Amino acid sequence: MRKRKVFLAKGADQVHEMFDWKDAWEKDNAVWHMDGVNSTLEKHLDKITGKENKAKLFFPLCGKTLDMLHLSKMGHEVVGVEFSELAVRQFFEENSVPCTASSVSSMEGMLYKNDDYRIRIYCGDFFKFGSHLEKDFDGVWDRGALEAIEPKMRKTYIDIMKSILKPGAGYILDTADRPIGIGPPFFISVDEIVEHFGLKSQPEQIDYEIAEPDLQAMGCAGLFFYYFLMP
């Protein structure tokens, strides 16, 4: 399995100083970015696409992930939301994907899209995104997005997800196995996932990746991958 680096803080008091995500992109310090397609996504892709040959898939806080490019080449429609305009521009430029950009006033941001509209990335405040812009997603690949959100904002984040996903949409969630109160990424328990998403049963753990030694030394034992269907 390809290793993923996780951006860690030693204490909650360091959050605002160390975790300016936009600043990390601008300083070429986005250490969480993978240089290939996520192996867990490849292995469990059918869980979010179902039987659809052209599923509509959502990538929250997407950065410039190559997962989006990979799935679009398979014929799927991919939509991301990202705060860093640099990351969005790099996605299209580094992968030689022609795109156009237009203003999205409701987000106070921009929409970048490729020629056939199969790849769309909204650049702006995630909390201003919602069903007024996109909806009826078949699945979501939440790689490190929910865990990056401060705990007090989780309900708002999840309410947005509920508004844009179809009932029965497949959801894969990647979250760090680490102590409570340290982050980001912040720990989120299975019970919280059940409660906030309104699930009738616990999510299925589909994978677990043991963290590299330097991450273990900072309190991260590994990475959980959970799967569930939206109510």
List Cα–Cα distances, 191 to 8, 78, 197, 200, 201, in angstroms. Answer: 23, 29, 10, 11, 10
> Residue 219's pLDDT is what?
78
| pLDDT recorded at residue 214 | 66
155 phi/psi in degrees, rounded to 5 = -60, -45
Q: Flag residues of the chain having pLDDT under 70.
A: 1-19, 21-22, 25-27, 29-34, 214-215, 218
Rounded to whole angstroms, the Cα distance separating 188 from 195 reads 11
The answer to pTM > 0.85 is: yes
Gap between the Cα atoms of 26 and 7, Å rounded: 15
Q: What is the pLDDT of residue 34?
A: 65
The pLDDT value recorded for residue 199 is 97
Which pLDDT belongs to residue 29? 62
Continuous segment of H or E residues that includes residue 102: strand 99-104
pLDDT tens for each residue of 154-190:
999 999 999 999 999 999 998 889 888 787 778 899 9
Q: How far is CA 167 from CA 15, 164, 170, in A?
A: 35, 10, 9
